[in-house]
Amino acid sequence: MLITFFRAVVLYIIVLIVVRFMGKREIGQLQPFELVISIMIADLASTPMSEIGIPITNGIIPILGLLVMHLIISAINMKSIKAREILCGKPRILINRGKIDEQALEREKFTINELEERLRGKDVMNLGDVEYAILETSGEISVVLKPGKRGTIPEDFGITPEYEGMAYDLVIDGQVMYQNLKILGKNYEWLKKELNNLNMKPEEALVATIDGSGTIFAQKKEKQNGRRIE
């Protein structure tokens, strides 16, 4: 049992390292070659994890080999547009200028019901509201609504909003984000003073953030060291 536990831990660490090297894509955004590698890694890891009679290297070495293949294919994918089209395919326009392209749906094995389902996932309830719908190489659908159906933006009213900048975390679950304080040119004493104005210490904060305008939002933890804070 201990051997099985040890093998599972080792394989978990190896797979985690390999996945980290593969990049930060979400599962729904994997390209076809990335999805194939992910499935193969899962299969290669599961067998030596449960079968003690199989050397653990029989799983580790092929997984590392797949990582090397992934890095090579990714490099080719970055440098060659033609290779990119072969490996990942090309985006397909399913709705063009408000008209559904039946041939495109047939090529991509898409039914009208599936198209409507994907559009609902984008908060589009009516096919008639869509100007363009593009099936991306990752399987995601990008939607451009007709001009009359798009939400209004400040530019429509001749308004130019002020620059908001980026918000930074100052405290997360009582842990001070010193790196962010350094980026902001602030220190712990400044943070302590600001949160003191909100009747809390940095270590008592569940979360504290600051936006581009300098406004601080903070919420106190309900419990501190196992006891409720009143």
CATH for 130: 3.30.240.20
Bridge partners, 96 (sequence order): 99, 132
- Main-chain dihedrals φ then ψ at residue 65, nearest 5 degrees: -65, -40
The 10 Å CB-count burial string (b at 16+, else e) for 78-97 is: eeeeeebeebbbeebebbee
The answer to whether position 155 is within a domain reads: no
pLDDT of residue 229: 44
pLDDT at 128 over 80: yes
pLDDT at 228 over 80: no
User: Which of 67, 86, 105 lies at the terminal end of a domain, its last residue?
Assistant: 86
Contacts of 42 (CB under 8 A, 6+ apart): 15
Q: What residue numbers bound the domain in which 134 lies?
A: 92-149
Higher-scoring residue by pLDDT: 183, 56 = 183
106 and 58: one domain?
Answer: no
pLDDT of residue 28: 53
Helix (H, G, I), strand (E, B) or coil at 91: coil
**Structural domain total, the chain:** 3
Burial class (CB in 10 A: 0-12, 13-18, 19+), 169: middle
127 and 56: one domain?
Answer: no
Share of the chain above pLDDT 70, in %: 90
pTM surpassing 0.75? no
16 and 71: one domain?
Answer: yes
Rounded CA separation 201/148 (Å) = 50
HEC per residue, 104-143: HHHHCCCCHHHHHHHHHCCCCCCHHHEEEEEECCCCCEEE
Q: Cα 129–133–134 angle (5° rounding)?
A: 170
Tens digits of residue pLDDT in 2-46: 776 777 778 778 877 777 776 655 455 666 677 777 788 888 888
Q: How far is CA 43 from CA 8, 36, 213, in A?
A: 13, 11, 50
